[in-house]
A and B are shown apart, each in its own frame.
Chain A
Amino acid sequence: MSQQEKLQQIFRDVFDDPSIELEPSMTADDIAEWDSLSHVRLMLEVSKAFGVRFSASEVSSLTNVGDLEALIAAKGGA
């Protein structure tokens, strides 16, 4: 499973929406349930699935899915 497929599955699970198709430009405005509360839950799942750690400033500074993908890659997430 590629990084994007893995990330997409996490999004689908966290937001309970199997129709989500991730695009790098996607933001919280594109997913109705993506608010500040679900964002930290999402990041907790991403952290576990990819075996990476995030700081609070990294968690709060992400602006879209592309940023998140780049951050995971930069941390060597697998």
Chain B
Amino acid sequence: MMRPGDGPAQGETDGPGEDSPFRSLTFHHFAVATDDAKLSSEYLAALGYRRGANAYDPLQNVNLEMWHHAGMPDVELVWPSGTSGPVNTMLKKKGVGIYHVCYEVDDLAETVETFRAKDLNFLEVVEPRPAVLFGGRPVAFYLFEGFGLVELLGRA
């Protein structure tokens, strides 16, 4: 079993440099799947978060709501609108918790090719499509081995 500290050396885990193929990739938000949006909102508000845009995503049959904070990463609350769908399944199996992390990128296809070039094993879960919560910007989801669900959000 791998121990803490095993794996890539420190120098290999530094952030993207000028010549890094991931130089356009920046952290955007993490999403929390919840079965009680009111309770989750109360938690975020208590920490000083303010409520942002919200939307209904018919593809996943979920409600989405962004929360912003002056000094902490944005949080997207995701909660089911019905009784079926992947978020319902996750909530039943794992309870409330982090659902995905989102990175903003210049170009989705180019970023995906860069991930492939790094020999990372991942699966496209949702094909690129307009994001209902982000003004129709392109968005896609990928499941990464060893990490979990990742959202890529195009800048334009």
**Residues of chain A whose beta carbon lies under 8 Å from any beta carbon of chain B:** 35-37, 40-41, 43-44, 47-48, 53-57, 59
User: Which B residue's beta carbon lies closest to that of A35?
Assistant: B89
In the A-B complex, list the 9 residue pairs whose CB atoms are closest, starting with the nearest.
A44-B123, A56-B127, A36-B86, A56-B124, A37-B89, A48-B121, A35-B89, A40-B143, A36-B89
Q: In whole Å, how far is B60's beta carbon from the nearest beta carbon of chain A?
A: 10
User: A35 CA to B87 CA in the complex, in Å?
Assistant: 11
26 A-B residue pairs with Cβ-Cβ distance under 8 Å, sorted by A, are A36-B85, A36-B86, A36-B89, A37-B86, A37-B90, A37-B93, A40-B123, A41-B143, A43-B123, A44-B121, A44-B122, A44-B123, A44-B143, A44-B145, A47-B121, A48-B121, A53-B124, A54-B124, A55-B124, A55-B127, A56-B125, A56-B126, A56-B127, A56-B141, A59-B124, A59-B125
User: A40 CA to B149 CA in the complex, in Å?
Assistant: 10
Cβ–Cβ < 8 Å partners of A57 in chain B: 127
User: A44 CA to B124 CA in the complex, in Å?
Assistant: 9
Secondary structure dominating the interface of B: strand
Taking residues whose C-beta sits less than 8 angstroms from the other chain, chain B's interface range is 10 to 19
User: A40 CA to B124 CA in the complex, in Å?
Assistant: 9
Cβ–Cβ < 8 Å partners of A44 in chain B: 121-123, 143, 145
**Contact pick for A40, options B85, B125, B127, CB 8 Å:** B125
Q: In whole Å, how far is B40's beta carbon from the nearest beta carbon of chain A?
A: 20
Interface residues of B in 44-81 (CB under 8 A from A): none
Bitwise, B94-134 to A at CB < 8 A (1) or not (0) is 00000000000000000000000000011111110000000
User: A57 CA to B126 CA in the complex, in Å?
Assistant: 8
Asked, given contacts A44-B143, A44-B145, whether A54 binds B123 with beta carbons under 8 Å apart, the answer is yes
Cβ–Cβ < 8 Å partners of A59 in chain B: 123-125
Q: In whole Å, how far is B139's beta carbon from the nearest beta carbon of chain A?
A: 12
User: Which A residue's beta carbon lies closest to that of B93?
Assistant: A37
A48 near B125: Cβ-Cβ < 8 Å:
no
